[in-house]
Amino acid sequence: MMVESATETIRTTPSNQNGVSSLSSQSDGGGREGGSNGDTNGEISPVDLLHLQQQQALQAARQFILQQATGLNSPSSNEIKQSPVQVPVSMAMMTPQMITPQQMQQILSPPQLQCYISILQEYYKKQQEQLHLQLLTQQQQAGKQAKEQQQLGNKQLAFQQQLIQMQQLQQQHILNLQRQGLVNLQPGQGAVPIQSLQQAMCPTDLQQLWKDVAGVQCTEEVMKHEGLDLTTNSSNTTSYSASKVSPQIPHHTLPNGQNSVHTPKRDRSWISSFTKESSDEHLTPYSKGAPLQSTHSTHEEHTASHSLYGHGECKWPGCEALCEDMGQFIKHLNSEHALDDRSTAQCRVQMQVVQQLEIQLAKESERLQAMMAHLHMRPSEPKHFNQPLNLASSMSLSKRESEGFPEGLPHPPTSAATPITPMRQGPSVISSSSLHGVGPIRRRNSDKFCTPIASELAQNCEFYKNADVRPPFTYASLIRHAILETSDRQLTLNEIYNWFTRMFAYFRRNTATWKNAVRHNLSLHKCFVRVENVKGAVWTVDEVEYQKRRPPKMTGSPTLVKNMISGLGFGSLNASYQAALAESSLGLLNSPTLMNNSTGASLNMLHIGHDDVSSTVEQVNSNGSCSPGLSPQQYGHQVHVKEEPAEMEEDSRPMSLMASVTQNLSMPGDERDMEEELPTEELE
């Protein structure tokens, strides 16, 4: 209190702030809506694809091996003389996904394991061939469609990148298996000779294997066919994906129909991921075969009068044309976003963004529930997070809310995430807040040094929008984020309010409380500068001041060092993913800014550093006391989150990586998320 008053008296008064003319020059630009309308940069996640492919291959192989192990007429009369297979009932009942490599090692003989690897390799090989085919298809298209050449070139780049990724993933997978003692193959070694396969399998099993492989080949045939159709039927840059979804499925038929693992549906799911068409569950009527044009027109008609126009701007993805009134906007819409290939493509991309978000939400919800289960919290409604949460939760914002908070944690949104968001809270705080009535308000512990606000928001944007969950950030961080999210980096108080309510369901009630807090923070913190405008006053962020107040907290945490070390192992892998993702996003969306944003955001996610942390680093760096040669990743590790539970981190990291990257490719406001981490340069 005393300190605050001492420092705040220095703070500039409204009168002398009027002199800040550079920031008030854009008097008409205020009030940009941030975050809700920017669903333009959603993109396929190659990492998702690769993971799915890997899992797919694993499942296929495991299922096959499992059949090999269980499908024998009699375990005692095993045809594999090297290693009579004894499969426990429980093991046989397990789904293929539940069988770990170690378990497989126990139940499989070396030849079988080699077979398993060969299947994987075959699988990868086929996928690579598919990608090559698609690449060729795209090249053909490029020849015919000079106008789309640039975009296609980018797509080719993305495909090539995926090829590289796939190869890397394959090698990595094999290496992992080797490390686990599953395989003796050298990385560069080819597939297992047929003879060894025959030794390991009975003829029927071999048949099964070849059917699996044949299914892929069959797919290729169809893809060629579809590719031709593609070039004749459509010229837009995304239509290829629509055509490629279907062929994989119906042509992968098995005469005996007993290979349940390598089902068409599963094929579709990962192929869909690649083509950015969603899987069965996510296919929309549009993507399931409705004519593209109807898709376009329906969407356009539905949204033109509302969602695509706001604050005098056209909100068509990537447009932002200024329109004074609705009439002008309609005119603009009809002229610039008429029914053509480009609009159709953009519409498709938008659809895919939505689908991707849905998938992402499902993943995150699943992870949250697993985490809650691990922490002995009871998710009372398993599907809770797949739907908009009840915003009229009985909880109240202020201290009172802790009083009415039952110990049994019956409110998943609040109990699970209020103490802290799912990904960061340790059990201790959960218990302290939920069991001891401390309440979620006093849980500043992680407000600053957990995930970056930008990436956290990007990752859980939809969650916070719908769930009545308090965001784990300080008011100052949120305000700053809201302001920096806008193009002109200034917001009126009311716009800040709107941002809060728009982005967080939690702030849609108890408005007096948090609005007061917002005002209080705006006034209190020197980093928020009030600028008089023609229209009124707007608030801007003084990034230097914002950073000034944070460094002291980050010094010498033992946990920090520990996490730095633990985080190192993931960095190199991430780097390739980042690069690949940047390439992919560049190619698929043809947007340089998106590429940078995706890369930056991915970096954010990968080292899971808080914005405060990043800013701190930047500041230190700018002062010259840090080595300038460190890469962002290295910085990220150095300042790694200190409060992230280590075991949780390890468990969730691969998923988090995938999810994060996916999200960053598809979430709105990514460009601003990037700026979140580069505030100093951006603001000057």
* Segment interacting with DNA, rule: CB under 7 A, options 165-173, 306-314, 346-354, 522-530: 522-530
Q: How many residues bind DNA (CB under 7 A)?
A: 52
Q: C-beta of 510: minimal distance to DNA in Å?
A: 7
Encoded one letter per residue, x for contact with DNA by CB under 7 A and - for no contact, window 531-570 reads -----xx-x---------xx-xx-----------------
Least separation in angstroms between CB 35 and DNA: 19
Token pair for 679 = 């505030």
Contact 315, 37 (CB under 8 A): yes
**Nearest distance in Å: CB 491, DNA:** 10
Binding mask 411-450 for DNA (x = CB under 7 A): ------------------x--x-----x--xxxxx-xx--
Q: Are 539 and 12 in contact (CB under 8 A)?
A: no
Of positions 123, 504, 514, 570, contacts DNA by CB under 7 A: 514
Q: Do strands 528-532 and 537-541 pair parallel, antiparallel, or not at all (unpaired)?
A: antiparallel
Residue number with CB closer to DNA (2 or 89):
2
Of the two residues 345 and 491, which places its CB atom closer to DNA in the complex? Answer: 491
Count of Cβ atoms closer than 10 Å to residue 382 Cβ: 11
86: CB partners within 8 A, 6+ apart = 75, 107
Q: What distance, in Å, lies between the first and last C-alpha atoms of the chain?
A: 32
Q: Does 265 bind DNA (CB under 7 A)?
A: no
- Choose between 362 and 524: whose C-beta lies nearer to DNA: 524
Select from 441, 363, 433 the least CA-distant residue to 399: 441
User: Are the CB atoms for 538 and 491 separated by under 8 Å?
Assistant: yes
Does 4 help bind DNA (rule: CB under 7 A)? yes
**Binding of DNA by 521 (CB under 7 A):** yes
Phi, psi of 9, rounded to the nearest 5 degrees: -65, -25
CB of 449 to DNA, least distance (A): 8
132: contact with DNA by CB under 7 A: no
Q: Does 51 bind DNA (CB under 7 A)?
A: no
Residue partners of 569: CB distance under 8 A and separation at least 6: none
SS3 of residue 274 by DSSP = helix
CB 40 within 8 A of CB 350: yes
Taking CB under 7 A as the binding criterion, the range among 126-134, 201-209, 487-495, 659-667 that sits at the site for DNA is 487-495
| Shortest CB 668 distance to DNA, Å | 24
Candidate list 32, 244, 530, 607; residue touching DNA; CB under 7 A = 530
Q: State which of residues 144, 302, 376, 399 lies at the interface with DNA (CB under 7 A).
A: 399
| Bridge partners for 531 per DSSP | 538
Amino acid at 665: L
Q: State which of residues 182, 389, 423, 476 lies at the interface with DNA (CB under 7 A).
A: 476
Nearer to DNA, 329 or 507 (CB): 507
| The binder of DNA chosen from 55, 474, 621, 680 (CB under 7 A) | 474
> What is the number of other CB atoms lying within 10 angstroms of the CB of residue 462?
17
DSSP secondary structure letter of residue 412: I
CA–CA gap between residue 314 and residue 670 (Å, rounded): 19
SS3 call for 381: coil
Reading the block at residue 587, the tokens are 């190619």
Radius of gyration of the chain (CA): 27
Q: Does residue 309 interact with DNA by CB under 7 A?
A: no
Contacts with DNA by CB under 7 A lie at: 1, 3-5, 8-9, 11, 13-14, 397-400, 429, 432, 438, 441-445, 447-448, 473-476, 492-494, 497, 513-514, 516-517, 519-525, 530, 536-537, 539, 549-550, 552-553, 642-643
